Amino acid sequence: MSRKTLSAWVWESLGRIISSSVNIRVLNLSDCLIPPRGLTALLAYLSRDCSVESLILRGNAIQTSNVAYLGTVLRQNCSLKR
């Protein structure tokens, strides 16, 4: 993708798909250049009941505002273990 970021809408759609899947256990989004609004949209769906146990966000420029929201999601989602 030549270092282009996807829109927040794409990340929201991905979150919707992931949250409705019972087969996704590990979600590796390393080095995906997730924009702040995209991460917020994705995390909104991960805060709901879903089967993801491991969320890997290494290599993304996660901003301070999203760190707090990520903490909230980790507290709300009991399936996430790491």
Q: How far is CA 38 from the centre of its chain?
A: 8
pTM, whole model, 2 decimals?
Answer: 0.80
Distance CA 39, CA 33 (A): 10
**pLDDT tens, position by position, 5-56:** 678 889 999 989 988 888 889 999 999 989 999 999 999 888 876 788 999 9
Domain spans in the chain, listed from the N-terminal domain onward = 8-76
* CA 66, 9, 56, 77 torsion-angle sign: positive
